[in-house]
Chain A
Amino acid sequence: MLDATTKDLKERVSGGIINPAKTCQPIGAMYAALGIHKCLPHSHGSQGCCSFHRMHLTRHFRDPVMASTSSFTEGSSVFGGAANLKTSIKNVFSIYNPDIIAVHTTCLTETIGDDVPTIIKSSEVPEGKLVIHANTPSYQGSHITGFSNMVKGMVSYLAESTTPIKKEQINLIPGFVNPGDMREMKRLTNLMGVKSIMFPDTTGVLDSPMTGKFEMYPKGGTTIEQLKDTGNSKLSIALGRFASSEAAELLQKKCKVPALALKTPIGIKATDEFIMALRRFAVTEVPYELEEERGQLVDIMTDTHFHFHGKRVAIFGDPDVLTGLTEFVLSLGMIPVHVLTGTPGGAIGSGMGSFEDDVREMLAAANVNGNAKGNGDLFTLHQWIKNEPVDLLIGNTYGKYIARAEDIPFVRVGFPVLDRSVHSYLPIVGYRGAMRLIEMISNALLDRQDRDAADEDFELVM
């Protein structure tokens, strides 16, 4: 497996990638758009992109992923795609009747410079229907950037400040996480007695039930009314800087809703910070139910610390999830020696610090001497591992090749997970998500210990 990967860590200067740890913007935008109720995502480009993005999301969620495309031909690539987009809008509304079309772009349409807002303005949009857009050039950032851009699009097209006094509600921008995580974030917020609008919200869309009937627009998704109402909220909590903070900042600028950027609440510390933010907002006691959950988590961490302590771990994935995971494995006493994302630096155009700095700071605070890299690839990660081996690998499905090649226990977390099921229904965020992560990690490590043990060392109780 991956026999052509050498140990020789020679610097590659071309800027090319071998085995990416990211993909391109539009898939993130498509995912975000699916988090709007009765929305059809539309890919303005040639149809290959749209098919690829639908396929990939479908494989991760094992649920229908609907989206339309402008289906560029060579002619439209030369003369512009205005006619294709106008025809698409007309056809989509008359055949598929969504309440809203959320258009994103591809490298094709960005390179030729199609002026999407102008094209939308001159399109036939039926009364009461909406078309929004986001520019999502594939040659900038990653799928996380695309998600962020589409969420910003929701704010810039829809959010309105209409009430003289802000309502006692918060906006919750969950970031590029699974529906299972979004459900958990909403549950925590509800338990804290805080009224919230989550956007985008793919619960009930990409984890929809089997009923014997196909719903093109499932029950879930943030409604257009809610999206408009985000401008009247008292606070926006952006969970995950890379995916969420720009939309929150835009909302602050546009509708004077203060923005608070927090880490994706993975692990005990980040979840504590999230709960504390909600507590500050609502000026309320944390309910016993949550205190109990947290206590259970700490109980489990204490009970099992000897499974993890001192174990060397490599983690890769999307930056917001990765930051939380790194912090959490540190809190378990593990040593994250390699941490790598494919997404570059801060989100494009934002003043954010780099992912690498964040991770290095955490590692330094824990006295861990490890590698941290933004804009990296899995070829690099594999070479690092060959040079400095690890006891555990955490990442998306693509990690399975490295795990097999180097015979490392492997825990699947993040996007995409294409070779296992159920993962998208269950959370990794919150105290319960942390319990699930512990279970996954300790199962992987103990299964390995069982596998490797000599008969006389094979333990009944571990």
Chain B
Amino acid sequence: MAFTEEKLQELLSILPDKVKKARKKHILVKDSSQPDQIIEANTRTIPGIITNRGCAYAGCKGVVVGPLKDMIHIVHGPVGCSYYTWGTRRNKAKSEDPTQNFINYCVTTDMQEKDIVFGGEKKLAKLIDEVVEIFKPKAISINATCPVGLIGDDINAVAKSAEERHGVPVLAFSCEGYKGVSQSAGHHIANNILMDKVIGASDKEEAPGRYAINILGEYNIGGDAWEIERVLKDIGYTIVSTMTGDGSYEELRHAHTADLNLVQCHRSINYIAEMLEIKYGTPWVKVNFIGVEGMSQSLRDMATYFDDEELTRKTEEVIAREVARVQPMIDQYRKVCEGKTAFCFVGGSRGHHYQGMYRELGIETVLAGYEFAHRDDYEGRHVIPTIKTDADSKNIPELHVNRDEKRFRVKVSPEKLEELKKKIPLSEYKGMNFDMQDGYIIVDDLNHYETDEFIKLLKPDIFSSGIKDKYVVQKMGIPAKQLHSYDYSGPYAGFNGALNFARDIAMSFATPTWNFIVPPWQDQPLLEGKMAEGEGKAC
């Protein structure tokens, strides 16, 4: 792989000057001889560039809040925003009491022109009354959309009075779509409210079992969380809460009782992870449950943290059993995949996490990036002190928590923590760039033009991204794998997930359909057969 700065310049050369200047800072060619390769990220999207990004509402309601199954999530706005987050993200949920599982419902104030003109607060309050009467949910969320902030509807006041009226918690999320520059702002807004109003809201002081953990930033896409939980429970962990895949308001309230927080998606949940550590003294460890190696390493890191002989023994036993079961089958699929190259451009975390899994299949990820991650997700958390909040993101509120004197517990002594930090990624994430090889490309907020150009230049064998790119890439005759929705497959996390992923990737190469793209009349001559001697001479 010899991608050079010169080639990059050439690729960008057709762009208008301003765009070129801006985009250059978002693209890196990995070069480990340079100590600090800085990438620009989490800045405003260039208008008209054809970005893949969504909005703060999607990040808040669509990603973090929506999966909480025992809440009714009211979208305060015109109909579209609620409609597009209805069943489209595959955060699965099941419930012992199906009348308290609202995952298949879509509730909106459906604002009309008169609500824009006269305000929508009354309509919202009435809808809350109806929802309480019909569904009797454990809690309700109100999710703001673009016009709500502009017309000045006070959703906090509506929430407060509804809460008093019904005795049901009502959480207001001011996640208007124009806030910040991407989904990321919505994550932060969601984290703040969940930390402030939900986590710790129960009177439980003790976790319900040994080795109590929370799984943070895991949304159970295609059943990922269930596969992770299967293995963790087998080893002996007690899962207090999962944020927020198959999660619930009920269990989230107890999250303060856990001994360790696992962070899968750093971008969307690191705020809560940090705050839990400050408020309750719960350390967090960065995990990656994608791929056999990632999964095994994460389990070992957890065992190291708990430092318990029995747990360690059981961890190794489960890893050995699971690897023995799935690895031989994965190896078969690897034969189809070996030696190929991939692009991996996903939201704010999978762009990194799937590279390891690809490598296990013998596939090198030659270009990777995120839609909306921040510099720490690329460069590692050590750069956080150097990140400046720009004008577009400065209005995202920062929640500052203090130590809860009653509940704060030292889970591991400070000396032990320091010792552990040398062995496992405690309160640490090294970022994506760290794992990429020299000459590989890192792109932030990849747009359609760059997608097209990079594909022409690097001719990847597979492109993993989202639904908007999928058919663009497939039309070029290149397999495209959705790493948001998993193309309706899954789970992809954990041991079973690794096997599913290997099967699906191998299938995308092996399908006979690629062979039919060129019609036979395009590569076969019109006249067939040998010309008889002398024929044609007459003319």
Q: Mark A63-79, 1 if CB is under 8 A from B, else 0.
A: 11111111111111100
Closest chain-B Cβ to A405's Cβ sits at a distance in Å of: 9
In the complex the two chains form, is A51's CB within 8 Å of B147's CB?
no
In the complex the two chains form, is A52's CB within 8 Å of B80's CB?
yes
**Given A71-B44, A210-B517, are A137 and B113 also a contact pair (CB < 8 Å)?**
yes
Query: In the complex, how many residue pairs between chain A and chain B have their CB atoms under 8 Å apart?
Result: 264
Instruction: Spot the interface stretch: B52-60, B164-172, B248-256, B280-288.
Output: B52-60
**Given A69-B51, A76-B178, A139-B116, are A55 and B84 also a contact pair (CB < 8 Å)?**
yes
The answer, among B54, B86, B176, B518, for a CB contact under 8 Å with A47, is: B54
Does A27 interact with chain B (Cβ within 8 Å)? Answer: yes
A144 CA to B63 CA, complexed, in Å: 28
**In the complex, chain A residues whose CB is within 8 Å of the CB of B81:** 24, 48, 52
In the complex the two chains form, is A77's CB within 8 Å of B49's CB?
no
Q: Mark A110-149, 1 if CB is under 8 A from B, else 0.
A: 1110000000000000000000000001111010000000
Which chain B residues numbered 114 to 134 have a C-beta less than 8 Å away from chain A? 115-116, 123-124, 126-127, 129-131, 133-134
A58 CA to B471 CA, complexed, in Å: 8
Closest chain-B Cβ to A85's Cβ sits at a distance in Å of: 7
In the complex the two chains form, is A107's CB within 8 Å of B123's CB?
no
Does B359 interact with chain A (Cβ within 8 Å)? Answer: no
In the complex the two chains form, is B392's CB within 8 Å of A73's CB?
yes
In the complex the two chains form, is B50's CB within 8 Å of A96's CB?
yes
In the complex the two chains form, is B48's CB within 8 Å of A138's CB?
no
**In the complex, chain A residues whose CB is within 8 Å of the CB of B147:** 107-108, 111, 139
**Given A14-B129, A15-B110, are A401 and B104 also a contact pair (CB < 8 Å)?**
yes
Does A338 interact with chain B (Cβ within 8 Å)? Answer: no
Does B477 interact with chain A (Cβ within 8 Å)? Answer: yes
A2 CA to B86 CA, complexed, in Å: 13
In the complex the two chains form, is B150's CB within 8 Å of A88's CB?
no
Q: Mark A19-42, 1 if CB is under 8 A from B, else 0.
A: 110111011000000000000001
**In the complex, chain B residues whose CB is within 8 Å of the CB of A47:** 45, 51, 53-55
The answer, among A20, A63, A67, A71, for a CB contact under 8 Å with B110, is: A20
**In the complex, chain A residues whose CB is within 8 Å of the CB of B127:** 14-16
Closest chain-B Cβ to A87's Cβ sits at a distance in Å of: 4
In the complex the two chains form, is A54's CB within 8 Å of B468's CB?
yes
In the complex the two chains form, is B470's CB within 8 Å of A213's CB?
no
In the complex the two chains form, is A87's CB within 8 Å of B178's CB?
no
In the complex the two chains form, is B83's CB within 8 Å of A23's CB?
yes
**In the complex, chain A residues whose CB is within 8 Å of the CB of B78:** 24, 107, 137-139
**In the complex, chain B residues whose CB is within 8 Å of the CB of A14:** 109, 123, 126-127, 129-130
Does B179 interact with chain A (Cβ within 8 Å)? Answer: yes
A62 CA to B83 CA, complexed, in Å: 19
Does A366 interact with chain B (Cβ within 8 Å)? Answer: no
Closest chain-A Cβ to B186's Cβ sits at a distance in Å of: 9
**In the complex, chain A residues whose CB is within 8 Å of the CB of B56:** 48
Q: Mark B89-125, 1 if CB is under 8 A from A, else 0.
A: 0000000001111101111111111011000000110
Does B507 interact with chain A (Cβ within 8 Å)? Answer: no
Instruction: Spot the interface stretch: B14-22, B226-234, B408-416, B531-539.
Output: B14-22
**In the complex, chain B residues whose CB is within 8 Å of the CB of A48:** 54-58, 81, 177
A444 CA to B261 CA, complexed, in Å: 49
**In the complex, chain A residues whose CB is within 8 Å of the CB of B53:** 47, 51, 71
In the complex the two chains form, is B50's CB within 8 Å of A68's CB?
yes
Closest chain-B Cβ to A133's Cβ sits at a distance in Å of: 15
**In the complex, chain B residues whose CB is within 8 Å of the CB of A91:** 16, 19, 46-49
Q: Mark B350-392, 1 if CB is under 8 A from A, else 0.
A: 0000000000000000000000000000000000000000011
**In the complex, chain B residues whose CB is within 8 Å of the CB of A89:** 48
**Given A4-B99, A63-B471, A90-B16, are A84 and B47 also a contact pair (CB < 8 Å)?**
yes
**Given A15-B123, A96-B50, are A75 and B391 also a contact pair (CB < 8 Å)?**
yes
CB-CB nearest in chain B for A17: B110
In the complex the two chains form, is A16's CB within 8 Å of B54's CB?
no
Does A296 interact with chain B (Cβ within 8 Å)? Answer: no
* Apart from A16-B130, A212-B517, 20 more pairs, CB < 8 Å: A13-B130, A14-B123, A20-B106, A20-B110, A46-B178, A48-B56, A58-B471, A66-B50, A74-B395, A90-B16, A94-B14, A95-B16, A107-B78, A108-B177, A111-B116, A111-B147, A138-B80, A211-B517, A212-B477, A214-B473
Instruction: Give the B-binding residues of A (Cβ under 8 A).
Output: 1-4, 6, 10, 12-20, 22-24, 26-27, 42, 45-49, 51-56, 58-59, 62-77, 84-85, 87-92, 94-96, 106-108, 110-112, 137-140, 142, 208, 210-215, 342, 379, 398, 401
In the assembled complex, 20 residue pairs joining A and B whose CB atoms fall closer than 8 Å, in A order, are A3-B101, A15-B127, A16-B130, A52-B84, A54-B468, A56-B88, A64-B471, A66-B50, A87-B46, A88-B47, A88-B48, A91-B49, A95-B16, A107-B145, A111-B147, A111-B150, A111-B151, A137-B78, A139-B111, A212-B517
The 9 nearest A-B residue pairs measured at CB: A48-B55, A24-B80, A88-B48, A16-B127, A91-B48, A14-B126, A138-B78, A3-B98, A52-B84
